[in-house]
Structure formats: structure tokens, C-alpha cells
Amino acid sequence: MDKKEVVNGSGVQPVEYKVLLLSDHIERTTSGGIILPSQAREKEQKERVVATLVAVGGRAFMDPEWGDPTPEVGKRVRVAKYAGYFFTGADDRVYQLCQDKDIAGIVIEDAPEEMSATDQPDFAGDGKYTGLRSE
């Protein structure tokens, strides 16, 4: 994956163990301009877990417990759902400021949107969806 040039237009430089993420922009209106509230909320939830790493604080990813691989600026990352806080930057884009430990993984390739219950692995081998079992 080629490293893209990322510009920090937020007006904020993270410090210490903080990282700055750029959230994906998702349209919340139809082509006719109608706002779709429930669809907007679902898209916003998806928007919050994948972002682009824009800037890192001076001590981010330096903890000896961090190990390899280390996310780099410009990489797409998966983030804890309720990590940090969101704000609108100087360039009117939505950014997220959170701890380096809130990054759960580096996105290697885009995954399918969602899996249905029939796509789940059958670990029990009985043909039933194991997540619904109470045993």
C-alpha cells in the first residue's frame, strides 16, 4: 500500500500519547437533499471505527509494550468505538483525538461492509449460529 500524503488541516497538533484521526466523510442526505436520520446514525457508527491517521504526539507508539507493527501517518486504522472525542477542524472536516492505545489495528485492505448470520463460522459444527447458543 502506497503511503498517501496527508495534510493536517484541523488546526490541532496532538501531544504526548495522543493521535489525530481524520474520520471518513459520509453523505447523510439523498440526492434530493432529504436527510435520512436512521441511515445517518448507522453510517456515523461505521464512520467512527475506521479513520486515517493524520498526526501523532511526540510519545505516541513509543511505549515499549506497543511492539510492531506501528501505525504510520497516512495509514487507515481501526479505532475503539467510543475512543477520544470528535471535533470539527479548521478545514470543516471531522477529526478524532484519542490515545495511541485506542488504535486496535491497521487496515490492510477494506473488509466487506457486514457479515450476515449465515456468513459466521460454525465452530460448534451443528449448523447453528454459535453466537445464539446459551450453553
> pLDDT by residue (tens digit) across 39-76?
555 655 555 688 999 999 999 998 888 778 889 999 99
Q: What is the pLDDT of residue 56?
A: 95
Contact 24, 47 (CB under 8 A): yes
**Domain residue ranges in the chain:** 18-110
Mean per-residue pLDDT of the chain: 76
Cα four-point dihedral sign 125, 126, 127, 130: negative
Q: What is the CATH topology of the domain spanning 18-110? A: 10 Kd Chaperonin, Protein Cpn10; Chain O (2.30.33)
Q: Does the structure show a pLDDT above 60 at 122?
A: no
